[in-house]
Chain A
């Protein structure tokens, strides 16, 4: 596959690993922010190839993992309604709410559908005018343009039976939280390439300078991540703290202006609770007044309910890199993909899921 296979070339990877070993002269701790990056690192085994002095901690860039518990519980209530066709990305289906998950709602007769794109929800709404179609709008800035476009398209078509549960979160506030948390040891960031493809990385320059921490935004293939680590290590060894772009084939400094425009048309920034982390200011997107009529939270207002996390789940510490998944006492015993205590074990981008799927053979040593 073009633009994929070249970045999985083992010979290029080997050369980059060699250069990394020569570059790193002392211990460093770096965080890759995005769950997609975590999965590539663990799946490909890159985390075992890099110098042991270069310690990787995994970040909160798994939107499924950080969707607030209250929002999941609200989704479950809406999805169970007989008039609702509830659409979601696949990996939300087994994320545990307080008492159940979307998969069990489906098993009990709820009309829950997996879609690949929010635009598929628009098509469903068009074809089923008597159904209330609700889309679970989860994701970072990468996904926000897609859900925004879905609402814009629905508006243009005059559809009245489509609404969304707006649960988008923003990456930089999470990085802010990581770098200011007590006990933080992160000295460099690998930032999420696709978020930056949409938003650009002008804000990252300011972040790097203010916190005196280097940032390299990368693609998601093994060679991308290795090159990103090399660029980051070079900065750290040289005492620089700038924002650099490894993913130049897909990301420009100003990002995608059209995408930013559609986000701004539909959404505005708000405070948002992150599952496991608490409320982060200015870290979420909510619908603008002009789109309140498409807000599922308003359309299906329900009583408040008590959302309760299992006390044993330590996803908060996992999400900011303070605890490695396989060091959690519940890992693989009371918490597995079939019976997860929290979201990171069940999401395709969750750190716990990555360790479970790919990491156990390696960690047997």
Chain B
């Protein structure tokens, strides 16, 4: 049960001094309270990696898009090379 799963912040909760920063994160229709103390810059709508009830990292959407774009282009390049005489 020590998995890191991506989820979307749907609400940041107001906190008093004693409590750690927290919010609600959604994983495919499931909402769970998650500690956001370690991702102070993550806003509602951002995606975070949640492990053991704590958000340990914010997902960089641009990096994700860049990698996927690159991956999707693989193979199409090769195909183009095969077709071109």
Residues of A within 8 A of B (CB): 1-4, 6, 12, 14-16, 18-19, 36, 63, 89-91, 114, 116-120, 139, 142-143, 145-146, 149, 152-153, 156-157, 193-194, 197-198, 220, 223, 227, 248-252, 256, 258-259, 262, 348-349
Contact = CB atoms under 8 A, between A and B. Distances in A.
28 contacts: A1-B6, A4-B5, A12-B72, A14-B75, A15-B71, A16-B71, A89-B2, A91-B2, A139-B2, A139-B52, A142-B4, A146-B51, A149-B38, A153-B19, A153-B20, A156-B19, A194-B4, A197-B56, A198-B57, A227-B67, A250-B49, A251-B57, A252-B60, A256-B39, A258-B37, A258-B40, A262-B37, A348-B1
Contacts of A223: 71
Q: What is the interface residue range for chain B against chain A?
A: 35 or more
B1 A89 contact: yes
A91 B40 CA distance: 31
A346 to B, nearest CB: 13
Given A139-B2, A145-B54, A2 B47 contact: yes
Contacts of A220: 3-4
Taking each of A14, A117, A198, A256, which has the highest tally of chain B beta carbons within 10 Å of its own beta carbon? Answer: A117
B5 to A, nearest CB: 8
B59 A157 contact: no
Given A1-B27, A1-B28, A3-B47, A119 B53 contact: yes
A32 B38 CA distance: 27
Given A118-B53, A143-B51, A258 B74 contact: no
B68 interface: yes
Interface string B30-69: 0000010111100000010101111011011101101110
Given A4-B6, A116-B52, A157-B18, 8 more contacts: A1-B6, A3-B47, A116-B53, A142-B56, A145-B56, A249-B61, A256-B57, A259-B56
Contacts of B64: 3, 249
B2 A349 contact: yes
Interface secondary structure of A, over-half rule: helix
Contacts of B72: 12
A15 B63 contact: no
A269 B68 CA distance: 38
A328 B38 CA distance: 42
A117 B52 contact: yes
A139 B3 CA distance: 11
A15 B71 CA distance: 8
Contacts of A259: 38, 56
Give the top 7 A-B pairs by smallest Cβ distance, nearest first: A117-B53, A15-B75, A249-B64, A3-B6, A197-B57, A146-B52, A248-B63
A175 to B, nearest CB: 19
Contact of A149 (B17, B54, B57): B54
A15 B68 CA distance: 13
A18 B81 CA distance: 15
B45 to A, nearest CB: 12
Nearest to A14: B75
A15 B28 contact: no
